[in-house]
Chains A and B, each alone.
Chain A
Amino acid sequence: MALNDQHVRALLAACQDTHTTELTCDEFLDAMPAYAELCVAGKEASPALAAVRAHERLCVNCRDECHGLVQLLAEQPSKP
């Protein structure tokens, strides 16, 4: 299998950040609304959200979705 610099760096970085137990994508989606609101408020660094942050770092698809939601919420004129 041919892997280039980018592939190998991404794999090794992900492996270094790997935890024994990680959230699934469904579990991340369940946590994403509250997490996104905290991100907009600048309060996402809570230790209680470590597993959520870890999944966001490791799963590019969930990360893109979360960033999209945060962008959307941040641009709202006021809370619903």
Chain B
Amino acid sequence: MDLLLAPTRRTRARVRCVAAQAPSSGAGARSRSNDEWIRALSSDGPTTDSAYSDLRAVILRGLRRVLASRGVPDSLCEDVAQEALVRVRERLADFRGDSYFTTWTLSIATRLAFDELRHKRWKDVSFEAVTADAKTPLVFESAGVISQERMIARERVLGQLRQVLENELTDRQRIALVAELKGMPHAEIATSLGVTRNAVYKLTHDARKRVQAQLQAAGISAHDVLWAFE
């Protein structure tokens, strides 16, 4: 994950060992304030060990709740929980205090879990295959029969879209946009392009802005687009 610092090997080993061995205090996981969590996790000693164990229990419960319906094995939940603990420890200073600490922890765990699920789904999909036609002229494959009037309206919109996609985007913008449209996760696109997830979002954002500007300059309103592609 590009947003998190790479955890040190020592931190990772210590957190994993502590969380696995220390008994959870159960009720303690529910009674800590944000400040108490931060203090307990920032220090060393039995209180810290117990806090890590409690936090691991919170993360595991949460992950099992959200991933069970997706058929995710418990082993993956365990792995993600461990990784999340390490990331939390590394990023303690980044906690903004505008939510419960446990919610913040679960948000990190959720992103890790979803990234892992998406990677498993897409790791054998060739980026080159997905984006092979990104540099070729736009071809619109429409299903269904539409009226002549709507077809003309569509062609008007597609003409502008074609102009932007084929002539006014950089190669990277076009490739990122096509990959995104075909469902590839941003993290996978980022890995394939050798950039960060944020950079992929910026590429597609810039592409969208270009299309938006082109449509506006051509006098095509949101209503026109909606009607043409109903």
Contact = CB atoms under 8 A, between A and B. Distances in A.
Interface of A: 1-5, 7-12, 14-16, 18, 20, 22, 24-26, 29-30, 32-34, 36-37, 59, 61, 64-65, 68-69, 71-73, 75-76, 78-80
Nearest to A1: B133
B176 interface: no
Contacts, number: 138
A59 B208 contact: no
Interface of A is mostly: helix
B132 to A, nearest CB: 9
Contact of A5 (B98, B133, B135, B142): B142
Given A24-B201, A59-B201, A72 B65 contact: yes
Nearest to B180: A60
B229 A9 contact: yes
B209 A18 contact: yes
Contacts of B181: 3, 7, 10-11
Interface residues of B, number: 63
Nearest to A74: B65
B150 to A, nearest CB: 12
Given A5-B142, A37-B103, A69-B66, 14 more contacts: A7-B182, A22-B201, A24-B201, A33-B107, A65-B111, A69-B103, A69-B106, A69-B107, A72-B66, A72-B110, A73-B106, A80-B30, A80-B100, A80-B103
B178 A68 contact: no
A2 B118 CA distance: 24
